[in-house]
A and B are shown apart, each in its own frame.
Chain A
């Protein structure tokens, strides 16, 4: 018991904000990890990150008009996903450029909203909350909405899993079999926007990329088959989130500032550390395992 006391600062299990943080963090870590497996397989990491950044624009717009930031994140994320799909070229390279252009425009808008926001309320910390977020200041009233949209995003991805894999691995075969490749891509991008906007609420829009890409990339390195990869990714995401919250809580008395270290720092370090371990362990000949279409479909 005494040992435990050194690891876990007293009051950790009794604190209300910690309960909310753990519950919401778990749901979001699972959603991000499962979505992330498809994001990494489809090579859409940049889109995933951009949607997180773009939802910061929504966050600052919501801040400006005085609505809960969560709705701003969601609205802008979904809008940007639709726009990217609309102007996005099918080739991977062209898609990255389209993503980049949408991102550039959205960041410009974010600069404007933040500027106008500080003009009226002079809250200097606002831009920081939006970018880096804080899991300890989730408003309890938004928790049900957070969880419901997370489950919706997760359900969409799970329902689409089979077609998604087929369209990711071989769009031509999918099209020949009568799969509406573009519609599937658009639906996935929407689910991605929702799950990214959610994690943006916890660890900040910029760092939500970590929960999306890190666990999934690690899982795809150490396992075979999409189902197992999704399960392992969810495990890694949840573990990193819990440990990050615990460490951030413990760090309250750590030097140098005595104000606690940010949750996002711990979560990111744990996730990237885990990835590096899996990365260095693998022999050089074996690149990121991409399951072949037949195998992937027979697994599901």
Chain B
């Protein structure tokens, strides 16, 4: 399980878990769960388009995830965010359906983009993941205070001069950046589960931002590591384990909080 063939998988998955834990924390805090679902899944259509043109799927993913972030932020200016997200997402997937119908024999490749191909990570894939992942985490670090402020207390932040729209756009762009590099490795569906489950669990346990974010990263790491080990043993898809462990940790987080509340009441 820890042989030379698997070492890239472990490194890549660890990097992905750290990024998912950090971005997911803000996604849950800001209530951008739908965007966290739409950007990775919609971006997969870009990979389909890129492979049609004979380009690197990375380019397609990057273009589509950035376009998706811009589309969501742009439409949200005058519409409800959930409607804006839904329509942007649906348009990207519609294009994806078209690209897939044009190309022949793409189904298997698309399946791996949706559900991930974590055991096929090659050495030259690891470096871009680490670099882009470092950039995303650094960007979140730079934006941490205003982002935290505008997420937790939007009105106060606006009064203090934090531009809510600009923060939203910046956050969505970071999410897009993180997405374009993680999707080829772990798949669009898994990236979403990994962003939401651990962060939601961490949030339900503690309200302190620093602690919650650390906890979110820790749970994401555990989820991925346990998932890879189980997936390696059983040969079942990693996405299954990550989705189920994520949901389980959220439910146990809620149960823990309910227990605390009950004992506090006496």
List residues of A whose CB falls within 8 A of some B CB.
40, 43-46, 48-50, 87, 92-93, 96-97, 99-112, 114-115, 124-125, 127-128, 131-132, 204, 206-207, 209-210, 213-214, 217, 256-257, 259-262, 264-265, 267-269, 271-272, 275, 279, 282, 284, 287-288
Contact = CB atoms under 8 A, between A and B. Distances in A.
Contacts of A260: 101
A97 B91 CA distance: 24
A100 B199 CA distance: 11
Contacts of B36: 100
Given A128-B107, A213-B87, A46 B97 contact: no
A259 B197 CA distance: 41
Nearest to B31: A93
A203 B100 CA distance: 15
Given A100-B196, A101-B200, A108-B244, A128 B90 contact: no
Contacts of B93: 206-207, 264, 268
B111 A114 contact: yes
A111 B90 contact: no
B98 A108 contact: no
B44 to A, nearest CB: 10
Contact of A87 (B86, B100, B251): B251
A282 B78 contact: yes
B79 A49 contact: no
Contacts of B91: 268-269, 272
Nearest to B82: A45
Interface residues of B, number: 55
Contact of B246 (A104, A214, A267): A104
B80 A43 contact: yes
Interface string B230-266: 0000001101111110110011001000000000000
Nearest to B254: A87
Given A108-B240, A272-B87, A96 B31 contact: yes
Contacts of B239: 107-108, 111-112
Contacts of A256: 102
Contact of B97 (A40, A97, A204, A287): A204
Contacts, number: 186
B138 to A, nearest CB: 26
Contact of A279 (B78, B94, B104): B78
A265 B94 contact: yes
A163 B251 CA distance: 31
A173 B94 CA distance: 41
Contacts of B182: none
7 contacts: A100-B200, A104-B243, A108-B193, A207-B97, A210-B87, A217-B83, A262-B98
B245 to A, nearest CB: 9
B214 interface: no
A101 B79 contact: no
B98 A288 contact: no
A98 to B, nearest CB: 8
Contacts of A279: 75, 78-79
Contacts of B83: 40, 45, 213, 217, 288
